[in-house]
Amino acid sequence: MSKIICAAAIRGAHAIVDRVEKKVNDAVAKFGEDKEVKLPNTGYYLPVIYGILGHKVETLGDMKPVLERCRELLPPQVEEQLWVPYLGHALDAGMATLFAYDMEEALKYLEDPIPYVTGEDPTEDNIWLGAADDVIMRKRGVEFVDGSAPGFAAVVGSAPDNETAVKIAKELQEKGIYVFMASEHNGKTFAEQLVEAGVQVGWPTRLVPFGRDTSAAIHAVGFATRAAMAFGGVKPGDYAGILRYNKNRIFAFVLALGEVTDEWYAAAAGAINYGFPTIADSDIPQILVTGICTYEHVVSNVPHEQIVSKAIEVRGLKIQISKIDIPVSYSPAFEGERIGRDAMHVELGGPKADGFEFCRMLELDQVEDGKFEVIGPDLDEMEVGKTYPIGIWVEVAGRNMQPDFEPILERQIHHLLNGAEGILHIGQRDILWMRVSKKAYEAGLRLSHFGTILHAKFHNEFGKILDKVQVRIYTEPEKVKELIEEARKTYRERESRLGAMTDETVETFYSCLLCQSFAPDHVCVISPERPGLCGAYNWLDGKAAYEINPTGPNQPVKKGDVIDEKLGQWSGVNEYVYQNSHESVTSFSAYSLMVDPMTSCGCFEAIVVLLPMANAVMVVDRDFPGMTPCGMPFSTLAGSVGGGAQTPGFVGISKFYIGSKKFISAEGGILRVAWMPKHLKESLKEVIQKRGEEEGVPDLYDKIATEEDATTEEEVMEFMQKVGHPALEMDPMM
């Protein structure tokens, strides 16, 4: 019964707070109260403390009031007889535990060396990743938004053996669920078990090793807390909002593998505050009554073969998996899987051979649904370790199919094939590069299975627009050479068709409300010349999505009367935005940074920021971790832009939009750009040059400063003077 659990959690919390208090005191003695303490590249400080208490921990001294709060929260121990109600007490003890863990883990970043690896992937000698920075959080957060990651499992302890660990992990991966790993049982951790069994761990495969200590599980909670602030627009300190957001949006749960200690109970009590239940494999008491979590709170003694399905049921998750008849596992979780040279059976396309993929529509009677052909040698006829050309030729037909949808379907091939375990897919169109792993080959994977995957997934996801799918895979070198030319012809036609399309040539834009599940008041308006700020949805995507699901998150928006051509304001668009932002945004400019700019959810690829003294703007993308001339790094900027708020002078955008003629055209467009991170600038080189020429500044590319030229607004201005930046001559922005 819950008395045992609550008593243990309260005991555990006392011990944890005692321990962390000592560690903080030791650190203060060693480094002093003013010693800066922070997690890598985040605008959210120690995120659990910041989110729940609204308190910024920036120095060791800032931890003192948090420790005091922990002490206030710690309840008395549960009496043997005549006890007072312990549930609320245990939940408070759990919260104190989370605050203590947040500090304990932050202290690790003062150690030399830091016990964690930075980035998405473990290294040879250290598998532990510690806190995710904001770049990872935002990138992965999008997957939580669109549902491709239905939730996460915080796994503590270890399975009885490696084989069981792999089975559990794979089952979670197959369902797209992230696996956050911490703590040990019997001296073993779940993450180590996976690594020993040769499973690739790290963010790309959704198997994330946080740390060996139980305290490292806080990084899962920190991720969830930041998601509420970054995507949900919940304000720091609005603990009720943060916890409700997590209960109703982030479908997470704890899998406790092994003996449940007082410390685990304390952490589990903390998780219950977030609506995350615990499912244990050991024979501990249960709390089955509902109320804090969606359903049960603690469910125990669950056999390993049932533990994942039980966890999903307890959390109240519905996951639709279309079973694909292939001999390997299939899930978005495998999209990030790497296949090294040693592990690869063969390579297809890539730098050393031709490779392309192509999708076109035909008449209904020209397509035989489910027909897969392999023209040329199949995998079992190829030499191990060698490279072969490949052409993936997909033909679809359907009553609602349109030529405009061809490139959309074609673009899906990348992630659809990548989802199969043992298939690596990089690039698109005629820069295709694939690998098939030895394991997948040995499991029976053949090229015709590419057809099986595309057929099943196309039907599953695009059944509204297509009725038939047939696939041919070419590995015959001559045939590939011949068809790649045919495909290229079509690629060019499509480009010119899309290029000719402007905001003026259409009467209807499309909305994207997908992110409203995370940012309730945010509305994306997608026009031909301005894709969604996440970069994942352009106007055609919006149109297709609407055809596929007429009541879905992408809706047609009639432009209506022009209110202001320069700003890009239309009566129909304003009305739509007003209604769908729940009356929080009254008007919207498609082309302006300064007047009624578009709101942001949190998924944006980059942010445009006004540099007021320079009379110019800077653009920073989320991969740039450093300080920017506006005085804030991306992570901090993102915090002030996201959450559905309209902030003149700041706007979240897709990288593609930078090359659009409508890019902040109300303020003078691309000529206003005075600073960008170097890697972003280089990746957009062609576009910037082209746009510069069009705007009469052919050397614009060289006039944009990077972090190598300037890190402050003053330095940007100096650089502008030096190169004669066009913005110097332009009208004042403010």
Query: Which residues of this protein are in contact with other proteins, per CB under 8 A?
Result: 1-3, 6, 52, 73, 78, 81-92, 94-95, 146-147, 150, 232, 234, 239-241, 243-245, 248-249, 251, 273, 287-292, 294-295, 297, 312-313, 316-320, 516-517, 520
One-letter amino acid for residue 701 of the chain: Y
φ, ψ dihedrals at 178, nearest 5°: -70, 145
For other proteins, the closer of residues 366 and 460 by Cβ is: 460
First-to-last alpha carbon distance for the chain, in angstroms, is 65
For other proteins, the closer of residues 312 and 651 by Cβ is: 312
Cβ at position 218, least distance to other proteins in Å? 16
For other proteins, the closer of residues 76 and 626 by Cβ is: 76
Encoding tokens for residue 480?
Answer: 């590939």
Q: How many CB atoms lie within 10 A of CB 89?
A: 23
Cβ at position 650, least distance to other proteins in Å? 24
Contacts of 214 (CB under 8 A, 6+ apart): 101, 156, 182, 183, 263, 264, 267
Picking from 35, 10, 19, 21, the residue whose alpha carbon sits closest to that of residue 69 is 21
Cβ at position 461, least distance to other proteins in Å? 14
For other proteins, the closer of residues 273 and 654 by Cβ is: 273
Query: Exposure of 379 by Cβ count < 10 A (0-12 exposed, 13-18 middle, 19+ buried)?
Result: buried
Contacts of 213 (CB under 8 A, 6+ apart): 104, 182, 183
For other proteins, the closer of residues 29 and 289 by Cβ is: 289
Which residue reads 């956050």 in tokens? 180
Helices (H), 533-684: 539-548, 571-580, 634-641, 678-683
One-letter amino acid for residue 152 of the chain: F
For other proteins, the closer of residues 81 and 496 by Cβ is: 81
**Element (DSSP H or E) covering residue 726:** none
Cβ at position 20, least distance to other proteins in Å? 19
Contact 13, 97 (CB under 8 A): yes
Picking from 27, 22, 52, 26, the residue whose alpha carbon sits closest to that of residue 37 is 27
For other proteins, the closer of residues 237 and 477 by Cβ is: 237
Whole-angstrom distance, CA of residue 38 vs CA of residue 45: 6
For 297, the 3-state DSSP assignment is coil
Cβ at position 312, least distance to other proteins in Å? 8
For other proteins, the closer of residues 27 and 98 by Cβ is: 98
For other proteins, the closer of residues 312 and 424 by Cβ is: 312
Query: Exposure of 327 by Cβ count < 10 A (0-12 exposed, 13-18 middle, 19+ buried)?
Result: middle
Picking from 174, 261, 246, the residue whose alpha carbon sits closest to that of residue 215 is 261
The angle formed by the CA atoms of residues 425, 428 and 429, to the nearest 5 degrees, is: 135
For other proteins, the closer of residues 288 and 384 by Cβ is: 288
Cβ at position 232, least distance to other proteins in Å? 6
Cβ at position 514, least distance to other proteins in Å? 9
Cβ at position 121, least distance to other proteins in Å? 28
Cβ at position 93, least distance to other proteins in Å? 9
Cβ at position 88, least distance to other proteins in Å? 4
For other proteins, the closer of residues 287 and 379 by Cβ is: 287
For other proteins, the closer of residues 249 and 543 by Cβ is: 249
For other proteins, the closer of residues 243 and 590 by Cβ is: 243
Cβ at position 181, least distance to other proteins in Å? 25
- If you count them, how many residues does the chain have? 734
For 650, the 3-state DSSP assignment is strand
Cβ at position 604, least distance to other proteins in Å? 20
Q: Is the dihedral of CA 575, 578, 583, 585 positive or negative?
A: negative
Whole-angstrom distance, CA of residue 457 vs CA of residue 335: 15
Question: Does residue 407 have a cis bond before it (omega within 30 degrees)?
Answer: no
For other proteins, the closer of residues 21 and 92 by Cβ is: 92
Read out DSSP for 17-44? HHHHHHHHHHHHHHH-TT-B---TT-SS
Cβ at position 87, least distance to other proteins in Å? 5
For 168, the 3-state DSSP assignment is helix
Cβ at position 718, least distance to other proteins in Å? 45
Read out DSSP for 387-435? EE-EEEEEEEE-TT--GGGHHHHHHHHHHHHHTBTTEEEE--TTS-EEE
Cβ at position 631, least distance to other proteins in Å? 31
For other proteins, the closer of residues 80 and 708 by Cβ is: 80
Encoding tokens for residue 206?
Answer: 């959704």
